[in-house]
Amino acid sequence: MTEYDLIIKKGQIVTESGSYKADIGIMNEKIVVISRSLPAGAAEEVIDASGKLVMPGGIDVHVHLQLPFSGSVSADDFENGTKAAACGGVTTVLDFAIQSKGDPIMAAVEARRAEADSKVCIDYGLHAAITDWNDETQAEIKQVIDYGIPTFKMFMIYKNEGWMADDAMLFSALEETAKHGGHIGVHAESVFVLDMLIDRYAQEKEKWGAYAHTLSRPGYTEEEAIIRAIKWAEVTGGQLYIVHMSTGGGAEAVHSAKERGVRVYAETCPQYLLLDDEVFKGENGHLYATCPQVKKPHDSERLWKGLLNGDVQVIATDTCTFNTEQKAAWKGDFRKIPFGMPGVETMIPLMYTEGVGKRGLSVSQLVALTSTNPAKLFGMYPEKGSITVGSDADLVIFDQEKKVTLHAADLQTNCDWSPFEGWELVGYPAVTMSRGKVVARDGKFVGEVGYGKFLKRRAYGKL
Ligand code: URP
Ligand code: ZN
Ligand code: ZN
């Protein structure tokens, strides 16, 4: 009988506020000791992390696994999507239970758990997406929060899916969630202007091809909706979280709202930082269609600035994988492209290479943006997002020297293409550990299907 199940030796431990060299002792899924030197004989297993970083596992608060959407179902299901997450250094994902109009929110939560619980390979939680607002929904908010889902999502678009929330719903939900310590995440785009522009470009769809997707969704359609949502948060006192923010104008709006004391936070994704809408001009431009779509280089620049100065607090991926066969359903009509792309597997290494390697992000900022801030904002800290005694042993041993050329074929995702195909990375996860169990090594899954647990999260998350 040994003192620890596992010791990680000689790694450079990175937290949101700094880094230091130490050994970590793990017992019964938890970090139980952090010390300058632990005797190797005190554990059943020892992992040598010398020369490598040890970071809290990544937390991707925005994934859509096996989502019925755009006439298809996203290709990474709860099993493969969480395997892919593990391979990329992510140890927690948050997906969505989307209310069906007329039904209770909890019906969607139970249905989603029935799909996910036996499949997930790392820990996961759910946001509740509100698509209906009536007395029953209002009364359910506290119940959903008490159940362990303190974060909600509302879509300002998607009429056809039956998901769209109007301003009155958004206003009411901000008011109600504020009473119980919840927050509203919002997909912000201006639906009426968008629909008008989509109709306009549909007249010339053969001329523009996939580029019509970006022509019909100019930056101001996101900026205006963000400003509107912020106004409702300001007057209700509700807490707002802008999901997948893609515009510089959005970042400016969040910046000035925060200066006025509005309770608003924002997330962006690697695609908005690293790609621009020229991608739609390529032969396979339709593959890149997401919603909101990638914007202009000046938008990316402003988002990078936002990560560095605190306007943007979270990096997530909006993983919603559609393979080339699914994307082919567009048949030349930009309105029919399934929206979404893979992402969870490449978030940490891409952000390390591009953010830490090239953009002046410190490793601690990377940890804050991809792990600690999400844990705090989404009610999981300090069990998740932290390397301290008592935290879950969700850890990534990260090899800063490892060179990888990204190829979809080498990844775990069910996607047969990658938006970052051929990109040269420097730095990749060597080992991913979920509650003390090694779940991935060198980009390959070695864990167990169904090992992941549903996370009951706490209310009043903030930074
Ligand atoms: O294109 C995307 N983002 N697909 C997923 C649905 C959403 O809006 O997040
Ligand atoms: Zn969205
Ligand atoms: Zn999404």
Per-residue HEC secondary structure of the chain comes to: CCCEEEEEEEEEEEECCEEEEEEEEEECCEEEEEECCCCHHHEEEEEECCCCEEEECEEECCECCCCEECCEECCCCHHHHHHHHHHCCEEEEEEEEECCCCCCHHHHHHHHHHHHCCCCCCEEEEEEECCCCCHHHHHHHHHHHHHCCCEEEEECCCCCCCCECCHHHHHHHHHHHHHHCCEEEEECCCHHHHHHHHHHHHCCHHHHCCHHHHHCCCHHHHHHHHHHHHHHHHHHCCCEEECCCCCHHHHHHHHHHHHCCCCEEEEECHHHHHCCHHHHHCCCHHHHCCCCCCCCHHHHHHHHHHHHHCCCCEECCCECCCCHHHHHHHCCCHHHCCCCECCCCCHHHHHHHHHHCCCCCCHHHHHHHHHHHHHHHCCCCCCCCCCCCCCECCEEEEEEEEEEECCHHHCCCCCCCCCCCCCEEEEEEEEEEECCEEEEECCEECCCCCCCCECCCCCCCCC
C-alpha 250 – ligand 1 centre gap (Å): 17
Q: Which residues pair with 34 in a beta bridge?
A: 24
First-residue to last-residue Cα distance in the chain: 41
Task: Output the pLDDT for position 48.
Answer: 98
- What is the reported pLDDT for 180? 98
Does 65 reside within a domain?
yes
Q: Is residue 51 over pLDDT 90?
A: yes
Q: Is residue 422 part of a domain?
A: no
pLDDT digits (tens, 9 = 90+) for 260-299: 999 999 999 999 999 999 999 999 999 999 999 999 999 9
> Which of 64, 269, 271, 288 maximizes ligand 1 atoms within 8 Å of its Cβ, making it the mutation to test the pocket?
64
**Full domain range(s) for residue 293:** 57-377
* Dihedral angle over CA of 259, 265, 270, 276, nearest 10: -50
Helix 135-147 crosses helix 167-180 at what angle (to 10 degrees)? Answer: 40
Tokens encoding 103: 């039904």
**pLDDT in the model for residue 47:** 98
Structure tokens given for 86:
């593990």
365 domain-assigned: yes
Which residue do the tokens 């019909």 mark? 216
- What span, in angstroms and rounded, lies between the C-alpha atoms of 226 and 251? 9
Structural domain tally of the chain?
Answer: 1
Ligand nearest to the CA of 245: 2
User: What is the structure's pLDDT at 199?
Assistant: 98
Calculate how far, in angstroms, residue 249's C-alpha sits from the geometric centre of ligand 1: 20
For tokens 């100065």, the residue is 309
In the reported structure, the alpha carbon of residue 13 is separated from the centroid of ligand 3 by a whole-number distance in angstroms of 31
pLDDT tens column, 355-364? 999 999 999 9
CA distance 177 to 161: 24
249-253 long-range contacts, CB within 8 A, separation 24+: 249/219, 249/220, 249/222, 249/223, 249/299, 249/302, 250/188, 250/222, 250/223, 250/226, 251/302, 251/303, 251/305, 251/306, 251/311, 251/312, 252/302, 253/223, 253/226, 253/227
Atom of ligand 1 at shortest distance to CA of 291?
1
Please give the structure tokens belonging to residue 26: 């793990």
Q: Which atom of ligand 1 is nearest to the CA of 341?
A: 1
Decide if 16 is inside a domain.
no
Q: Give the nearest ligand 1 atom to 157 CA.
A: 8
Q: Which residues pair with 444 in a beta bridge?
A: 441
Mean pLDDT of the chain: 98
Phi-psi region at 359: left, alpha or beta (left = phi > 0; alpha = psi -120 to 50): alpha
Predicted local confidence at residue 431, as pLDDT = 99
CA of 63, nearest ligand number: 3
Domain membership flag for residue 370: yes
CB half-sphere exposure, 211, CA atoms < 13 A? 10
Is the C-alpha dihedral spanning 366, 369, 370, 375 positive or negative? Answer: positive
For residues 116 and 64, the answer to whether their CB atoms sit within 8 Å is no
Residue 1 has a pLDDT of 81
430 Cβ contact partners less than 8 Å away, ≥ 6 residues apart: 52, 397, 398, 399, 402, 441, 442
Residue 385's pLDDT is 98
Res 248: pLDDT: 98
| pLDDT tens digit sequence for 68-105 | 999 999 999 999 999 999 999 999 999 999 999 999 99
Tens of pLDDT, residue by residue over 215-260, are 999 999 999 999 999 999 999 999 999 999 999 999 999 999 999 9
Q: Confirm or reject: Cβ of 187 under 6 Å from ligand 1.
A: yes
- Residue showing tokens 């970090």: 31
Residue 35 lies in a domain: no
Determine whether the shortest distance from the Cβ of 320 to ligand 1 is under 6 A. Answer: yes
Tell me if 265 is assigned to some domain. Answer: yes
Task: Kindly state if the Cβ of 291 falls inside 6 Å of ligand 1.
Answer: yes
Out of 94, 245, 290, 319, mutate this one to test ligand 1's pocket (max ligand atoms within 8 Å of CB): namely: 290
Angle (nearest 5°) at CA 173 between 158 and 61: 65
What is the position in ligand 1's atom list of the atom closest to the CA of 340?
A: 1
What number does the ligand 1 atom closest to the CA of 289 have? 1
Question: 35 C-alpha to center of ligand 1: Å?
Answer: 43
- Ligand 1 centre and the CA of 146: distance in Å? 27
Q: How far apart are CA 168 and CA 331, in angstroms?
A: 37
pLDDT band at 442 (very low <50, low <70, confident <90, very high): very high
Using one digit for the tens of pLDDT, what is the confidence trace for 159-213? 999 999 999 999 999 999 999 999 999 999 999 999 999 999 999 999 999 999 9
Report the CATH number at residue 80.
3.20.20.140
Taking CA atoms only, the protein residue closest to ligand 1 atom 8 is: 291
The residue whose CA has the least distance to atom 9 of ligand 1 is: 318
What tokens were used for 374?
Answer: 């999400």
The CA-based angle 352-355-356, given to 5 degrees, is 65
Q: How far is the CA of 155 from the centre of ligand 2 (A)?
A: 7
Ligand nearest the Cα atom of residue 318: 3
What are the tens digits of pLDDT across the range 119-134?
A: 999 999 999 999 999 9
Q: Is the CB–ligand 1 distance for residue 340 below 6 Å?
A: yes
Per-residue pLDDT at 409: 98
Cα(238) to centroid(ligand 1), Å: 24
Kindly state if the Cβ of 339 falls inside 6 Å of ligand 1: yes
Write the residue with the smallest CA distance to atom 7 of ligand 1.
291
- The percent of residues in the chain predicted with pLDDT above 70, rounded, is 100
Answer yes or no: is the C-beta of 64 below 6 A from any ligand 1 atom.
Answer: yes
Q: Provide the residue type at 149 as one letter.
A: I
Evaluate the omega torsion of the peptide bond into residue 382 and state whether it is cis, within 30 degrees of 0: yes
Does 17 map to a domain?
Answer: no
Cβ–ligand 1 distance for 290 under 6 Å, the answer yes
Q: Is ligand 1 within 6 A of the CB of residue 318?
A: yes
Smallest CA-to-CA distance from 84 within 289, 320, 294 is with 320
